[in-house]
Amino acid sequence: MAILITGLTAFMAGLDNLVVLVALPTIRDDLGGSLEDLEWTVNAYTLSFAMLMMFGASLGDRFGRRRMFIVGLLVFTAASAGAAVAPGIGELIAARVIQGVGAAIIMPLSLTLLTHAVPAAKRGAALGIYSAVSGLSIAGGPLVGGIVTEHISWHWIFWINVPVGLLLVPAAWRALAESHGPNDRLDVPGTVLSGLGILGLVYGLIRAGGHDGWGAPLVAGPLAAGTVLLVLFVLWEQRSRAPMLPMRMFRNRAFSAVNAGALLMAFGMYGVVFLITQFMQTIQHMSPTEAGVRMLAWTAMPLLIAPVAGILSDRIGGRPVAVFGLAMLAAGFAYWALVMSPDASYLEQLPGYLLGGVGVACFFAPLFNLTMSSVDPAEQGIASGANSAARELGAPLGVTVLTTVFTHNGGYASGQNFVDGFKPALWIGAAAMATAAVVMLFASRTTPAGQEEPDSGEPALEAAVPVPTATR
């Protein structure tokens, strides 16, 4: 039951990362707004998600993981209803911010609650199911968004969260055991510094990608302020008695590699998905459903490949599988950059979709086990929050940077103008995936028993180490 509840929650939160992308042209026609407004429709969710992820894990440690998990579900569900009835683009962006707050609470706690609910001997299988369900949200996002937008209304891509959330709340209360973390102090200064620092950087990048130049006050000011605030965050965390993210964890090579790889992967993937959906509907004039169906070659691939990738991870370790996946994503984006044209047929584009789908499946299948095995059991809640935050931060950064590259080299004036901007953005996405593959070579290699091999630069973490017992 714990796998079902936490998996459905991860699916719902993950779905809202991608479900809105295919609906963006329709939302623009209905509510208006510029390209920058459309970016914020995506980034508002992922930014608040990333900014508050570790704080959400800390709230669970302090006030109870099950209790805060339910609070997060209620916030997410209410915000989804608010997004569905939004009368304008500004109200939609505001609702997406609150959605991200709820997701920031439920996502790290769902993984921690599942880890504590499953015996160590079965934890690898449980995490594999959890990762498969998370992958399903990637597969379902564009398709669900396209079908619902075209045949019902874009409002229903948010309404569908409401009944699911309302069913999960009582189920979580009955089926999940309450537990607390070892650190019961909240790092409010750290949360403020990191959140405002991330916001400053991303806002400055978005302004730079719009009509402002890099030297404009609304670009240089936020970028400089964001950088200073993040430096202050690091200094504060080093001195704090109860840090939200202990900086010593980054001395663990495996932990640093897994988080850097996750950030770079999300950077490239979400940036490319944002643009490819625009290309399919704006340049090739596909309906939302047609775009979602054609993307199944990429997004549904994890359903077929993830089980195989999971078996390979058990046999040869998670690291080589993740590295292979990132290499496939890099190859897929590079292929698109070579063949893309305004009238490129679907068959011409298909190899890129297939390579991307294999890549996503092979990366996500071992990711959660690599993350949890890179730290001591007492710090798995923090590790879960940090890795989720890295991925959610990578998403808006990728959308922002790749859109900036796109607008500086092309635009919507014509099909060729779009492709002129899209190709260099694809090369940036491919470079991000290749860099992530190199970085992940330093991640720990998990074995079937769930222990970390000593090639990570840190002592091996034995699977027999007991996880603190949850209490009701």
Terminus-to-terminus CA distance in the chain, angstroms? Answer: 16
pLDDT at 418: 92
Share of the chain above pLDDT 90, in %: 20
Locate all alpha helices (DSSP H) within 1-34, ordered by sequence: 2-18, 24-31
CA distance 202 to 50: 12
Contacts for 211 with CB less than 8 Å, ≥ 6 apart: none
Residues of the chain with pLDDT under 50: 446-472
CA distance 291 to 381: 37
Cβ atoms of residues 292 and 18 within 8 Å? no
CA distance 80 to 96: 8
pTM assigned to the model: 0.73
CA distance 222 to 254: 32
User: Residue 464 class from Cβ within 10 Å (0-12 exposed, 13-18 middle, 19+ buried)?
Assistant: exposed
pLDDT at 71: 93
pLDDT at 280: 87
pLDDT at 466: 32
pLDDT at 209: 58
Cβ atoms of residues 128 and 397 within 8 Å? no
pLDDT at 464: 30
pLDDT at 254: 84
Q: Output b/e per residue, 380-415; b: 16+ Cβ within 10 A.
A: bbbbbbbbbbbbbbbbbbbbbbbbbbbbeebeeeeb
Nearest CA-CA partner of 93 in 26, 144, 33, 147: 33
SS3 160: coil
